[in-house]
Amino acid sequence: MKENNLSNRQLLVLVIARVLMGWYCLYEGMVKVMNPNWSSFAYLNDSQGWFAGIFKAMASNPGLVSVVDFLNEWGLVAIGLGLILGLLTRVATISGVVLISLYCLSHPSLIEANYMLPSSETAMWVGKNLIFVFLLLILLLFPTGHIIGLDRLLFKKKN
């Protein structure tokens, strides 16, 4: 089986990075799941920038808010598990890129933006979430789940 063109060191660093990012997503998801009062309502309503109108409209629809809540809570948990275990790694990584890009769109790191809720750290236009998206894209381009991860067993037949 051809594993990859990665050296052992490259592989090691990529796998550790994947696990750490998974850890972060899993934690973010778990604290939301465990807090019965958590809702995306305030975050959506606190949106600023070009797409603020769309997110605020979502916030004004209670049915939609509960869908967004569910997708956030369990989405983050699933992405986290996927990255840590290397399970359906590609799906987990792409989902992570989409979800966290939405955070970036709703809370863009505009210099003049003044968010009510404590949000991710930003260095002017570059915020933590934006960096996170690109780290996930690196994982997408240099996949490791099929080498170190459950994908290795899951996709064994195709190899």
Partner 1 sequence: MAEEKKQSNKINRRDALKGFATLPVLGAFGYGMYKKWNAERLKKHSITNELGLDFSAESTFQPIAADGKTLRLGIIGYGIRGRQLMQAAGFAKPELIDEWKKGAQQNSNDRRYQDFLEQEHLNITINGVCDLFDVFADDAMRAAANVNREGTNGKMNPTAKRYRRYTDLLQADDIDAVIIATPDHWHAQMAIDAAHAGKHIYVEKGLTRTVDEAFALRKAIKETGVIMQLGHQGRQTDSYNKAREIIEKNVLGKISLIEVCTNRNDPNGAWVYDIHPEGNPSTIDWAQFIEPTNPHPFSLERFFRWRCWWDYGTGLGGDLLTHEYDAINQVLKLGIPHSAVASGGVYFYKDGREVPDVFQAVFEYPERDLTFMYSASLSSEYFRGKVMMGHDAAMEMENVLTVYPDRRSTRYKEQLEAGILDPEKPMISYIPGQSQVDAVTSATEQYFAKRGLLYTYIQGKRFDTTHLHIKEWLECIRQGKQPSCDIDQGFQEAITAHMATIAYRENRKVFWDAENEKIV
Binding site for partner 1 (CB under 8 A): 1, 15, 19, 22-23, 26-27, 30, 34, 39, 41-42, 45-46, 53, 56, 81, 84-86, 116, 147-153, 156-157, 159
Task: List the one residue out of 77, 79, 95, 99 whose CA is nearest residue 87.
Answer: 79
Q: Phi, psi at residue 6, to the nearest 5°?
A: -80, 140
* Minimum CB–partner distance for residue 67 and partner 1 (Å): 17
State the nearest-atom distance from the C-beta of 12 to partner 1, in Å: 11
Q: Which is nearer to partner 1, 67 or 126 (CB)?
A: 67
Question: How far is the C-alpha of 73 from the C-alpha of 139, rounded, in Å?
Answer: 22
Q: In angstroms, give the least distance from the CB of 66 to partner 1.
A: 14
Nearer to partner 1, 75 or 82 (CB): 82
Contact 106, 45 (CB under 8 A): no
Instruction: Note the maximum CA span of the chain.
Output: 53
